[in-house]
Amino acid sequence: MEILDIVDENGKPKGKTVEREKAHAEGIMHRTSHVWLLRKRSGKVQVLLQKRCETKETFPGCYDISSAGHIPAGMDFAESAIRELKEELGITASADELILCGDRIAIWDDNFHEKPFHDRQYARVFALWRDMDEEEFSLQKEEVDSVLWMDLDECMASVEKNLIKHCIYFKELEMVKENTSWFL
């Protein structure tokens, strides 16, 4: 059972907690951390996409953020991002390597497995440079089926035009590109 901090519209904990399942059943605001892995190949920036496990409750088999997760109660954004990178992809990173791209609020309602799902999350978005090949990642099989490097511009076009099966928020890719353009 995951326990999350209930947060305000600025991502600040209110001093109360909630079980993850209840947060999604009732639409209670909570925090997540998102990390986009980047590398440069052949003069282009590439982004790593995670293909969600087919057994995931939400968006099975969809391409998603390189690494993301709910933030356990009492943990901060960077600490959670680093933990998720290790768990999902086998990557060790430090907080000073994370590039802050910004914060965003995600609000959407859907049904999964015939149950209402109400997501209210305050997400902090990071980028992390890692020049690794796909086979070098140690994937958490319960979460990730595979990973795929894609040119960032191609990824953005594919997401914007729904050319790939995904659950990616396009504006987040724009945030990543804007905040890492100094590297180009």
Predicted local confidence at residue 11, as pLDDT: 96
Predicted local confidence at residue 183, as pLDDT: 67
Distance CA(58)–CA(113), nearest Å, equals 9
Question: In sequence order, which residues have a C-beta less than 8 Å from that of residue 162 and are 6 or more positions away?
Answer: none
- Residue 74, judged by CB atoms within 10 A of its CB (0-12, 13-18, 19+), counts as exposed
Question: In sequence order, which residues have a C-beta less than 8 Å from that of residue 137 and are 6 or more positions away?
Answer: 89, 90, 91, 147
Distance CA(15)–CA(5), nearest Å, equals 7
Give the chain's end-to-end CA distance (angstroms, integer).
Answer: 42
Report which secondary-structure segment, H or E, holds 78. helix 77-89
Predicted local confidence at residue 102, as pLDDT: 97
Contact 94, 86 (CB under 8 A): no
The pLDDT tens digits along the chain (184 residues) read 899 999 999 999 999 999 999 999 999 999 999 999 999 999 999 999 999 999 988 889 999 999 999 999 999 999 999 999 999 999 999 999 999 999 999 988 887 767 877 889 999 999 999 999 999 999 999 999 999 999 999 999 999 999 999 999 999 999 999 998 876 5
Q: Which residues of 84-97 are buried (b: 16+ CB within 10 A; e: fewer)?
A: bbebbbebebeeee
User: With respect to CATH, is domain 3-183 assigned 3.90.79.10?
Assistant: yes
Predicted local confidence at residue 173, as pLDDT: 97
For the chain, the maximum distance between any two Cα atoms, rounded to a whole number of angstroms, is 49
Domains of the chain by residue range: 3-183
Distance CA(152)–CA(174), nearest Å, equals 10
